[in-house]
Amino acid sequence: MPKDDLSISVFAEQNVELMVKADTLYAYAGVLKVTLFQKEAWPFTEHDETLKDLMFEIYPWNKASPLF
């Protein structure tokens, strides 16, 4: 990201993420947010449900940023 006077980013310094994978569900987990996704649409398995529940427990907010 360019560092000039017009650049504003809440997550500019937050670039460390872990990728976690269950059976069909993936999660990119960072300091402030998590992104859950599937590469192909499949029903959730028991492991997928466990990962989803854990991520919602660790990241309880449902907005793009906890600041808003």
Residue 4 confidence (pLDDT): 53
pLDDT tens for the chain, residues 1 to 68: 455 566 666 666 666 789 999 999 999 998 878 899 999 999 999 999 999 999 999 988 776 665 65
- Among 5, 9, 1, 8, which residue's Cα sits nearest to residue 32? 9
Residue 42 confidence (pLDDT): 95
Residue 64 confidence (pLDDT): 63
The model carries a pTM of 0.70
Residue 33 confidence (pLDDT): 83
Q: How far is CA 7 from CA 12, 14, 17, 26, 63, in A?
A: 10, 15, 22, 30, 22
